[in-house]
Amino acid sequence: MGKSTNITWHETTITKADRRIQNGHGSCVLWFTGLSGSGKSTIANAVSYELYRLGINEYVLDGDNIRHGLNKDLGFSEQDRAENIRRIGEVAKLFVDSGKVITTAFISPFRSDRDQVRAIFEEGEFIEVYIDCPLEECERRDPKQLYAKARRGEIKDFTGIDSPYEAPENPEIVIHSDKVTVEEAVEQVLHYLREKNII
């Protein structure tokens, strides 16, 4: 329940539909989820680059970056992760309303948090992209040496080690990042967007 009272929703003069017409394409959020090191940031940025090249209005919301600003008051407890995802979901909704195709790269380990974000969007606007990569491979990559730290007990509540990751049950897109190249992953996402007439 919100704390604000006496507030009224104000419809904007220019609508999401108007912005989509001006842009010449649809808007949606490609919600990447997966373990640390699975490839969320790499693939989300590669998708974004390709969309930009095609003249599509895009934006990337990335976990580490948001935690430097908007969500710098949040840690990695289950409660803080839920609030992290809730806020990102609301920000993503504003971007989708602005007419963009956005990618988000957050571990978002809890199914209920992701489902709550899905619920604030209209049908077809929330596209869950599961970056499916075995923990062993993520740990082998360990691009930020965080798994090594977690194994040494220097980071607590690390996803996949001592904090759970709940895989999506019905994601729109599954990318096996241990089996396909980044280029193939990008093509998989673009194919989906074209098939749905979003781009």
Ligand X SMILES: Nc1ncnc2c1ncn2[C@@H]1O[C@H](COP(=O)(O)OP(=O)(O)O)[C@@H](O)[C@H]1O
Kindly tell me which residue out of 67, 141, 149, 151 binds ligand X, with binding defined by CB under 6 A: 141
Active site residues: 108
**CA distance linking residue 59 with residue 17, whole number of Å:** 19
Q: Which residue is nearest to ligand X (CB)?
A: 39
Q: Is 124 annotated as a binding residue?
A: no
177 in contact with ligand X (CB under 6 A)? yes
Cα–Cα dist 161/86, whole Å: 24
Q: Pick from 18, 64, 90, 154 the residue near ligand PPS by CB under 6 A.
A: 64
Instruction: Decide if residue 38 touches ligand X (CB under 6 A).
Output: yes
Q: CB-based burial of residue 20 (10 Å sphere; 0-12 exposed, 13-18 middle, 19+ buried)?
A: middle
Q: Is 63 annotated to bind ligand?
A: no
The answer on whether 37 is annotated among ligand-binding residues is yes
Measured CA to CA, the distance from residue 70 to residue 151 in angstroms comes to: 29
What are the b/e assignments for 157-194, b being 16+ CB within 10 Å?
ebbbbebebeebeebbbebbbbeeeeeebbebbbebbe
Q: Which window, 44-52, 100-108, 168-176, 180-188, contacts ligand PPS (CB under 6 A)? A: 100-108
Among 31, 32, 95, 106, binds ligand PPS (CB under 6 A): 106
- Residue 41 in contact with ligand PPS, rule: CB under 6 A: yes
Residues 6+ apart with CB under 8 A from 137: 37, 178
Task: Using CB under 6 A, list all residues that contact ligand X.
Answer: 34, 36-43, 105, 141, 143, 177, 180-182, 185
Annotated binding site for ATP: 34-41
Q: Using CB under 6 A as the criterion, which residues of the chain lie in contact with ligand PPS when the complex forms?
A: 36-37, 41, 63-64, 67, 76, 81, 84-85, 106-109, 144, 146, 155, 157-159
